[in-house]
Amino acid sequence: MEVFPGAFHLPGYLTLEEQIALARRCGTIGGEPAGFYTPTVRYGARMRLQMVCLGLHWNARTYKYEKVRSDYDGLPVQPLPDDLKALARRVAAETGMEVSPDLCILNSYTEEGRLGLHQDKDERAETIAAGYPVVSISVGDSAKFRMGGTRRKDPLRTFILRSGDAFVFGGPSRLRYHGVSGILPGTAPPQLEIQGRFNLTFRQY
């Protein structure tokens, strides 16, 4: 469903089996040596989530992408697996958009997790100008995802992103402000055997 021009909510995109497999995979990736950590952003605030990047690491101090986690432990970033790239391409194609993702930010939210309003604008200027979409896939607990306009003060709409949902924003929606205002605890399908929420955002650098 197109919720803004160039922004699409695809509820239930993943089957339950795919959700179970992806949730396990997120746990494994996060448990690797270059796995989950809590980023500290500019001005010293700790983010209210855990993060791990694949393909390229997003440095929370400089807001730039790099090959090693120089704002945290200096470890090389884990690669972005081909099958996850292919999944993101398929999701984008479903909305009529194209993307060649070379990085993914995997966030893990507990029931207290949230993410302030921001724009995804640290990718290459050319990529953003061309409107290549960000592809978001969620598993686990549902989240209150807010999206507004290209100015911080623009009115916000709230979408509940449930386990298995995809959300794609590109074209004229590529720079819309968005964030996660809360997690709905205990809403993950029980078969996933997880608490909390994983969200993967695939991006082209």
User: What is the nearest approach in angstroms of ligand SIN to the Cβ of residue 113?
Assistant: 9
- How many whole angstroms separate alpha carbon 48 and alpha carbon 57? 18
Partner from Mn ion, ligand SIN, none binding residue 95, C-beta < 5-8 Å depending on class: none
The partner residues of 7 in beta bridges, in order of sequence, read 4, 169
Location of structure tokens 């709230």 = 158
Q: Give the helix/strand (H/E) hosting 170.
A: none
DSSP per residue over 106-168, as a string? EEEE-TT--EEEE----S-HHHHHHTPPEEEEEEESEEEEEE--SSTTS--EEEEE-TT-EEE
Residue nearest to ligand SIN (CB): 199
User: What is the nearest approach in angstroms of ligand SIN to the Cβ of residue 112?
Assistant: 14
Torsion of CA 48, 1, 11, 89, to 10 degrees: -80
If one asks whether residue 180 binds ligand SIN (CB under 6 A), the answer comes out as yes
If one asks whether residue 120 binds Mn ion (CB under 5 A), the answer comes out as yes
Within residues 108-147, the interface with ligand SIN by CB under 6 A covers: 115, 136, 138, 143, 145
Partner from ligand SIN, Mn ion, none binding residue 180, C-beta < 5-8 Å depending on class: ligand SIN
Of positions 50, 59, 142, 199, contacts ligand SIN by CB under 6 A: 199
User: What is the nearest approach in angstroms of ligand SIN to the Cβ of residue 85?
Assistant: 17
If one asks whether residue 201 binds ligand SIN (CB under 6 A), the answer comes out as yes
Closest to 134 (Cα-Cα) out of 160, 182, 166, 159: 166
Q: Which residues bind Mn ion (CB under 5 A)?
A: 120
Q: Which residues bind ligand SIN (CB under 6 A)?
A: 105, 107, 115, 136, 138, 143, 145, 161, 178, 180, 199, 201
